[in-house]
Amino acid sequence: MLIKRKDGESVSSLLYRFSKRVKQSGILREAKKRQRYGRSVSRIKRKLSAIHRVNKKKETERLRKLGLV
């Protein structure tokens, strides 16, 4: 987005015009939406990940009881 400074225009008014243009164009809204977008993971991968987390938690708990962690 290109905004040129008018003759005798202060920096604050230029910044105001720029931010107003950005809001109207919807660039920020689109960027925020894309930032939170995540690819969907298959059901099998989610289950495998959950099983891995449970096993890891059990292992750390076992090691903690033995005093090794």
**Residue 41: per-residue pLDDT:** 87
Q: Which tens digits make up the pLDDT trace of 13-69?
A: 999 999 999 999 999 889 888 888 778 889 999 999 999 999 999 999 999 999 998
Distance CA 40, CA 43 (A): 9
Token pair recorded at residue 51 = 């099983």
Identity of residue 52:
H
Supply the pTM of this predicted model.
0.47
Q: What is the 8-class DSSP label of residue 4?
A: P
